[in-house]
Amino acid sequence: MSFQKEPPYTHGTVSRSAIVLVNLGTPDAPTRSAVRRYLKEFLSDPRVVEIPRAVWWCILNLIILPFRSGQSAKKYASIWSREGSPLKVHTQRQAEALFGALAERGHDGVTVAMAMRYGSPSLPEVLAKLKADGCERVAILPAYPQYSGTTTGSIYDAVFDHYRAVRNLPELRFVRNYHDHEAYIRALEHSVLAHWEAHGRPDQLLLSFHGVPKRTLLLGDPYHCECLKTARLLAARLKLTPQQYVVTFQSRFGKAEWLQPYTAPTLQQLARDGVKRVDVICPGFTSDCLETLEEIAMEARHDFEAAGGEVFHYIPCLNESPDWIAGLAEIAEQHMIGWPTMMTPAQREAVKKDAELGREAALRLGASA
C-alpha cells in the first residue's frame, strides 16, 4: 500500500464541501456485454452475495453470467430511454436539482455530485475529482432510504477503500438511512395522494420493496424492520387501515428463501380474492429503474391481470418530484451542520486563489527536490 502524492497542505484555505448522491449503478448499455460487465462487478461484491468466494466464483462465472446477462439485457432494452438507463438519468437529475435547492437555501459553496456503486461514474473517480477540486468536506448520501448491509454497507466499504490510499483525508459524513424521515414520508404521501386525486382510489395499496435473503435478517440486518416502519408511517399518513394495504418484497434472486411475502404471488392472490384494482408503489426505490419499470409496471401488472385482476396502477418513484428534492435538501442540510457552506463571493475567490497558491507551492517544492 502506498499513499498518493498530494499538493502540500495550504494553511487557511476556505475549502469546498460536497454532497455525493450514490445509487446502485446500472449497465452502460442494454447489451449482453455491458450487462455482463455490470453484473460481474455487482454480484462479485461479498456484501451482496454471502457465499464462500471460491464456490460463488464458479456459480457466477459458469452459470449466472452466461445465462442471465442476455436475459437481463432484453429487460433493460425494454425500459431504456433516449437519455440512457432510467436509474442513472433520474439520479443525475436529482443531483442537479439538489444543487439548485441547496443554493436556494443559501448553501452556495456546496458541490453536488452523483456516483454509482457499480459501473460509472464510479465512487473512486467521483471522490478523486472532488479532492482535485479542493473539497475538504464530503457527505455521502445513498439513494437507499432503508439501510441494508447489501447496499448502504457496501457504499461505506467503497468509500473507505478509496480513501485508504489518500494522505490528506476530507471530513467525511454518511447518511445511514432515512426510512422514517419526515421529509421522505411526506414526499411519498404527496405522491400517492396526487395519484389518487388524478385516478381515484384502489381497493388495495401494495408497497413493494426490493428483497434480500431472509438469512441477512436473521444475522442482524435491519433492512426488513426499516421497510416495515416506512410502510407503517406512510399508511398512517394516508389513514389506511391494515386491511387496505399490504407490504411485499420483490426481485428474489436464486433459490434461497428471501424476505416474504413475495410481490408477484401476493398480487395473484389478491386478484383471486376478488380485488379489482390494486395500486403498487415501490418506496424503497427513490429512482425508477429496471426493478420498478420492468418487474413491477410490466411483469407484475401482467401477473395481476392474468390472475383476474382488472385495474393495475403503478405509482412512479419519487424521482425528481419537487417534494423529494426538498426532502433530499433537508436530509443533506442536517448532515452539513457546522460546515461553512454559505460562502460569500469573496470567500469563493479566496478558495480559487488558495488552490492556485497551493499548486504553485507544490510545483516549486517539486522543482527544488
Given the rule CB under 5 A, which residues bind Fe ion?
251, 291, 295
Q: Does 151 bind ligand L6N33NVT (CB under 6 A)?
A: yes
Q: Are strands 204-210 and 245-250 parallel, antiparallel or unpaired?
A: parallel
Q: Is 6 annotated as a binding residue?
A: no
The angle at the Cα of 123, spanning 119 to 128, to the nearest 5 degrees, equals 130
Strand partners, 116: 23, 122
Q: Does 291 bind ligand L6N33NVT (CB under 6 A)?
A: yes
Q: Is 294 annotated as a binding residue?
A: no
Q: Does 212 bind ligand L6N33NVT (CB under 6 A)?
A: yes
Smallest gap from Cβ 220 to Fe ion, in A, equals: 20
Cell numbers for 134: 479542493
Q: Does 21 bind ligand L6N33NVT (CB under 6 A)?
A: no
Nearest Cα neighbor of 325 from 196, 141, 84, 172 is 141
- CB nearer ligand L6N33NVT, residue 152 or residue 341: 152
Please name the amino acid found at residue 119.
G
Nearest Cα neighbor of 105 from 329, 320, 266, 302 is 329
CA–CA separation, 76 and 69 (whole Å): 10
Q: Are 175 and 19 in contact (CB under 8 A)?
A: no
CA 322 to mean position of chain CA atoms: 18
Q: Are 159 and 131 in contact (CB under 8 A)?
A: no
Neighbours of 141 (CB within 10 A): 23
- In this structure, what DSSP letter does residue 241 have? -
CA–CA separation, 303 and 309 (whole Å): 9
- Which one of 42-50, 124-132, 157-165, 314-322 is the stretch in contact with ligand L6N33NVT (CB under 6 A)? 42-50
Torsion of CA 226, 229, 233, 238, to 10 degrees: 100
Q: Which does 49 bind (CB under 5 to 8 A by kind): Fe ion, ligand L6N33NVT, none?
A: ligand L6N33NVT
Q: Does 285 bind ligand L6N33NVT (CB under 6 A)?
A: yes
Q: Does 48 bind ligand L6N33NVT (CB under 6 A)?
A: yes
- CB nearer ligand L6N33NVT, residue 308 or residue 316: 316
CA–CA separation, 195 and 177 (whole Å): 26
CA–CA separation, 87 and 94 (whole Å): 11
Smallest gap from Cβ 97 to ligand L6N33NVT, in A, equals: 19
- The footprint of ligand L6N33NVT on this chain (CB under 6 A) covers a number of residues equal to 24
- Which one of 99-107, 287-295, 331-339, 345-353 is the stretch in contact with ligand L6N33NVT (CB under 6 A)? 287-295
- Which one of 54-62, 156-164, 284-292, 330-338 is the stretch in contact with ligand L6N33NVT (CB under 6 A)? 284-292
CA–CA separation, 201 and 9 (whole Å): 60
Phi/psi for 258 (5° steps) reads: -110, 180
Q: Does 245 bind ligand L6N33NVT (CB under 6 A)?
A: no
Binder among 99, 178, 223, 339 for ligand L6N33NVT (CB under 6 A): 223
Smallest gap from Cβ 88 to ligand L6N33NVT, in A, equals: 8
Q: Does 116 bind ligand L6N33NVT (CB under 6 A)?
A: no
Q: Does 319 bind ligand L6N33NVT (CB under 6 A)?
A: no
Q: Which does 147 bind (CB under 5 to 8 A by kind): Fe ion, ligand L6N33NVT, none?
A: none
Q: Which does 248 bind (CB under 5 to 8 A by kind): ligand L6N33NVT, Fe ion, none?
A: none
Output b/e per residue, 79-96; b: 16+ Cβ within 10 A: bbeeeebbbbbbbbbbbe
Smallest gap from Cβ 232 to Fe ion, in A, equals: 23
Annotated binding site for Fe(2+): 210, 291
Contact residues toward ligand L6N33NVT (CB under 6 A) are 24, 26, 39, 43, 48-49, 68, 72, 85, 87, 144, 148, 150-151, 210, 212, 223, 251, 253, 284-285, 289-291
